[in-house]
Amino acid sequence: MTIEWHYTAGEDFSVLSLSGHLGPEGAHRFAGAVGWVLARGTGPVVVDMSGLRSWSVNGQLAVVEAARRLSAHGRSLELAAIPADGSLVPDGDRPPITIHTDLAAAVAEHDAHVQSEDGRQQWRTSGWST
């Protein structure tokens, strides 16, 4: 079992939505999605995890690595609706990661709307349900 992803690039921030299980197999796919993010957007990246059923330690470490990659390009990573207990694997050597209770809270903080009708570009894996 792995993840599916959907990416919406905005002017001020972007949203990378995940569904499925972020484990060892999904970590590689997630890293690829982060590559799309780096190539196609600007500003902070909100990772919407509301569709994620679960994540493993490997998945959490992949998120930490994504925060490092984005930080190296002057961008930050934020999480919305993280699964389970609401915590990340401790890693003292990572950029700060803002955690929002849900996507609506993250969007409200950025004062924008995440809708395709507003001219944002979108990409997704073939298994993402529309």
Q: Mean pLDDT of residues grouped by 10 in the chain (130 residues)? A: 86 91 93 92 93 91 94 95 73 83 87 49 62
DSSP conformation class of 111: T
pLDDT at 73: 95
pLDDT at 122: 60
Q: Per-domain residue ranges for the chain?
A: 3-124
In the three-class reduction of DSSP (H, G, I as helix; E, B as strand; rest coil), residue 27 is classed as helix
pLDDT at 113: 42
CA atoms within 13 A on the CB side of 65: 14
> Distance between CA 48 and CA 51 in Å, rounded?
8
**27: Cβ–Cβ under 8 A, 6 or more apart, which residues?**
58, 59, 61, 62
Domain topology for 3-124: Transcription Regulator spoIIAA (3.30.750)
pLDDT at 1: 64
pLDDT at 71: 95
> Distance between CA 67 and CA 113 in Å, rounded?
23
pLDDT at 41: 84
